[in-house]
Amino acid sequence: MTASSTHPAAAALTAYAAPRDARPAALFAMAPEHLPGLFPPPVLGRLKELLDIDVSLVAQSYDQESLTPVLAETEVLITGWGAPRLDSAALAASPRLRAVLHTGGTVREVISDSCWERGLLVSSAAQANALPVAEFTLAAILLAGKSAFGIRESLRPGRRIPARPIDLATIGNFGRRVGIIGASRVGRRVLELLRPFDFTVRLSDPYVDAAEAARLGVRLVPLDELLAGSDIVSLHAPDTPQTYRMLDRQRLASIPDGATLINTARGALIDPEALTEELTSGRLNAVLDVTEPEPLPRDSPLHDLPNVFLTPHIAGSLGNELERLGRSVVEEVERLVAGLPLLHPVTQADLGRIA
């Protein structure tokens, strides 16, 4: 589920490389409030050394009359959350544009088919953004294995250990069966982070074969087998037509009683009505950083269930983690101006199987 490190248009990079004394003209396009976090002074300073860019100018729409002369000269577009879609009209106004470097993960909302027809080089910071999501997932897995979420709730009413004994036999991470759905960038990083622990880890991903699973150090199994044999299930598949509602009522019912479902991917991967019924019954536990819909309605029962740990889509890059995304883009710019292949290219073919 990860893109190749060699872009099919890599040969164009050498031709693109600017003269040593020239800096490619560039433009920011994103919601302006994200810029300081993505590019704090040291990172922004390096970017200005590489590109001819007005750091006070951030495009929120490409049809602004004041942007017409800027777009006419722009060779590199640095996009982020809130960036307008780069459609055929915007491309027509940007005849010199050769590369779009995205500070976010998915480029689906930024790139149009016209960009691929134009042969633009496209890169994203999805690899950098995968790191905090994987860290969040590891923490959730470890805490779920210790029943930390449920025990915390049992302490709330009397502010002390309840009279009813806790079933200690079900607590612990030794030999815990963990199922990872999707060998995406996040999924692969989670697999790496799980290696030092005494888990039994299995993977389900239609794009991974047995040889690649062996290289990842994990056993590959069909999705239904993974669900039926896991104490903790963690979702890391992309949101595509093929994965829509992949965990339907029947598959949710196949997960063992008392298991924990972790979703840091997309809410659309799970049937929301079936999930609500399973969680309301108390049969399953869940750590949900994403939901369907997002955010949940105020009257959703999931807000108050003791077996549900809800967070508002915080697993991805936030706060000081944004700088990592900016640094990823700066690294791509360094390679771009040097005529080297991008490290994190995105191609049109990739969009069918990545987030």
Where do the DSSP E strands lie in the chain?
25-29, 52-59, 76-79, 99-102, 121-124, 177-181, 200-204, 219-220, 232-235, 260-263, 285-288, 308-310
Catalytic site residue from 96, 273, 294, 303: 294
Rounded to 5 degrees, what are φ and ψ at 78?
Answer: -105, 110
Cis peptide before 295 (omega within 30 of 0): yes
Each residue's pLDDT tens digit, 259-308: 999 999 999 999 999 999 999 999 999 999 999 999 999 999 999 999 99
Q: First and final CA of the chain: distance in angstroms?
A: 9
117 Cβ contact list (under 8 Å, min separation 6): none
Residue 170 lies in a domain: yes
82 lies in the same domain as 150: no
Domains contained in the chain, number? 2
Regarding whether 88 and 68 lie in a shared domain, the answer is yes
The catalytically annotated residue of 313, 321, 334, 335 is: 313
pLDDT, averaged across the chain: 92
Residue 65 is which amino acid? E
**DSSP assignment of 202-226:** EEE-TT--HHHHHHHTSEE--HHHH
d(CA 66, CA 231): 57
Residue 81 and residue 148 in one domain: no
Q: Taking residues 328-332, what's their average pLDDT?
A: 98
Q: Is residue 135 part of a domain?
A: yes
Query: Is residue 324 situated within a structural domain?
Result: no
Q: Indicate whether 208 and 287 sit together in one domain.
A: yes
Mean pLDDT across the stretch 232-246? 96
Q: Is residue 26 assigned to a domain?
A: yes
Q: Is 215 a catalytic residue?
A: no
pLDDT band at residue 10, thresholds of 50, 70 and 90?
very low
Q: Which residue has the tokens 């929120």?
A: 60
Domain of 21, CATH number, reads 3.40.50.720
Q: Which among 86, 81, 13, 75 has a CA at the least distance from the CA of 50?
A: 75
The 8-class DSSP code of residue 84 comes to P
In a domain, 346, yes or no: yes
Report in angstroms the alpha-carbon separations of 65 from 60, 74, 108, 205.
Answer: 12, 15, 26, 47
Could you say which of 266, 327, 344, 353 is catalytic?
Answer: 266
Domain annotation covers residue 333: no
pLDDT at 350: 86
User: How high is the pLDDT of residue 167?
Assistant: 66
- The pLDDT of residue 351: 80
Whether residues 59 and 28 fall in one domain? yes
Task: Report the predicted TM-score, pTM, of the whole model to 2 decimal places.
Answer: 0.90
Whether 40 and 134 share a structural domain: no
Q: Under a CB-based contact definition with an 8 Å cutoff, are residues 233 and 288 in contact?
A: no
Q: Please check whether residues 176 and 260 belong to one and the same domain.
A: yes
Q: Which residues pair with 274 in a beta bridge?
A: none
Under a CB-based contact definition with an 8 Å cutoff, are residues 177 and 221 in contact? no
Give the integer Cα–Cα distance in Å for 232 and 226.
Answer: 10
Residue pointed to by tokens 């790139």: 111
Between CA 121 and CA 16 the distance in angstroms is 10
Q: Are residues 134 and 166 in the same domain?
A: yes
Q: Give the pLDDT confidence of 92-150 residue by residue, as tens digits.
A: 999 999 999 999 998 999 999 999 999 999 999 999 999 999 999 999 999 999 999 98
Q: Is residue 167 part of a domain?
A: yes
**Catalytic: 294?**
yes
Q: Who contacts 262 (Cβ-Cβ below 8 Å, separation ≥6)?
A: 137, 140, 141, 144, 232, 233, 234, 235, 286, 287, 288
Q: Which residue has the higher pLDDT, 133 or 22?
A: 133
Same domain, yes or no: 240 and 256 = yes
Task: Give long-range contacts, CB 8 A cutoff, 24+ apart: 206-209.
Answer: 207/1, 207/183, 207/353, 208/183
Q: Give yes or no for a contact between 122 and 115, defined as CB atoms under 8 angstroms apart.
A: yes
102 noted as active-site residue: no
Segment 11-39 mean pLDDT: 77
Q: What is the pLDDT of residue 153?
A: 87
Q: Which percentage of the chain shows pLDDT scores above 70?
A: 91
Q: pLDDT at residue 64 above 60? A: yes
Residue 251 maps to a domain:
yes
Range of the domain at 81: 10-124+339-352
- 230 contact partners, CB below 8 Å, separation of at least 6: 177, 178, 179, 202, 255, 256, 259
pLDDT at 13 over 70: no
Residues 115 and 147 in one domain: no
* Mean pLDDT within 217-231: 98
